[in-house]
Amino acid sequence: MSFGDAEPGATNGGDPALAMRQLLERISLADETGLDVFGVGEHHRPDFPVSAPAVVLAAAAARTSRIRLTSAVTVLGSDDPVRVFQQFATVDQISDGRAEIIAGRGSFIESFPLFGYDLDDYEALFEEKLELLLALQEDERVTWSGSLRPSLDDRGVYPRPVQARIPISIAVGGTPASVARAGRLGLPLVIGIIGGSPDRFAPLAELYRTVGTESGHDPAALSVGVSSIGFVADSARTAAAAFSPAYARVMTQLGRERGWGPVSAAHVEQTLGPDSALVVGDPPAVVDRILSEHEMFGLDRFLLQPDIGGLPHDRVMRAIELFGTEVAPAVRTALAPVDAERTARGARGRSG
């Protein structure tokens, strides 16, 4: 996944069309290497220049043939669910059924004043708009009313997607109430691990499955994904050396806005390792990490964001190549028996 980072330095920072072209090349390469899904995140800032993920995904859809294409995330509270549905239904048509939406409350807040929303309604906006988005999935004509979006009185929403339903997942940063909501609704969960040791998030996956099961959803349908910032390179040394200055730059920039101190590349390097939130290493290390998170969370999907801070394009392309041709196949091989067992269990569950 990517936020379409525009590098402040040499590679693409001064040329928005080049930055966009590079992002589309990355998605095409991910498709060619056989990766399952690519996510593009919504922000409203100059350093993360994708504000309209569906528009980017449509261009990617026209250039790829197999990979699934998702927002990561759609900041649903400050958007209009009808527009979001229309845009992703259009991507679904263009991609012949490969569109997905990962909806979240948003970890940045720029979109709220930009679209005239009150941050006091942050939680209620998400709750209500998610309800409407889900209703749009169910019927072509919708009657709906809420308190934060104009009501719909038997209105048709077009176009209709190719898939019977566009998959909608819920992204969470660690808020138990958000995790419980995903479980209650029986929607796939994506945990964004941006700080802290991954094992700290295991209780969230457990909470999700407990609430989901208690709410009457089939345990086999309750899916957990993780997204992490990281990097893959041919050697652990190369990975850390490329990633650390880029990540330090982003954290220093964000720190200026949020009142944290500056971060050095050396400090980032020291924190890397199996207990870090960051997934940085050679292919075997990243495989181990994903398998260990699979043990912790019963992982169904792992999203890696390998281009934070505008890492040089050739290195990001190599990271995607390694992720698609070495990491993913090794993970699939290692988990094949587990998947077979789960499928068998699911079949027994359904037949029982």
Q: Fill in the amino acid letter for 75.
A: V
The residue (of 258 and 348) whose beta carbon lies closer to a copy of itself is 258
**Minimum CB–partner distance for residue 186 and a copy of itself (Å):** 26
Task: At 96, list the tokens.
Answer: 């012949």
Alpha helix positions (H), the chain: 16-32, 53-63, 81-94, 111-114, 122-138, 176-185, 202-214, 236-258, 265-271, 283-297, 313-322, 328-351
Asked if residue 126 lies in contact with residue 81, where contact means CB atoms within 8 angstroms, the answer is no
Residue 44 touches a copy of itself, criterion: CB under 8 A: yes
Q: Is 254 in the site for a copy of itself (CB under 8 A)?
A: no
- Binding to a copy of itself (CB under 8 A) within 153-182 occurs at 153, 155-162
| Minimum separation from the CB atom of position 155 to a copy of itself (A) | 5
Binding a copy of itself (rule: CB under 8 A), the pick from 9, 34, 97, 219 is 97
The distance of Cα 225 from the centroid of its chain, to the nearest Å, equals 9
- Contact at 8 Å (CB) between 48 and 106? no
The least distance separating a copy of itself from the CB of residue 12, rounded to whole angstroms, comes to 11
Among 2, 33, 71, 90, binds a copy of itself (CB under 8 A): 90
Please identify, using beta-carbon distances, which residue of 52 and 220 lies nearer to a copy of itself: 52
Q: CA torsion angle for 231, 233, 237, 241 (degrees, to 10)? A: -50
Does 253 sit near a copy of itself (CB under 8 A)?
no
- Number of residues lying near a copy of itself (CB under 8 A): 55
SS3 190: strand
Residue ranges in contact with a copy of itself by CB under 8 A: 16-17, 19-21, 24, 43-46, 49-52, 54-56, 58-63, 80, 82-83, 86-87, 90-94, 96-97, 110, 113-117, 140, 149-153, 155-162
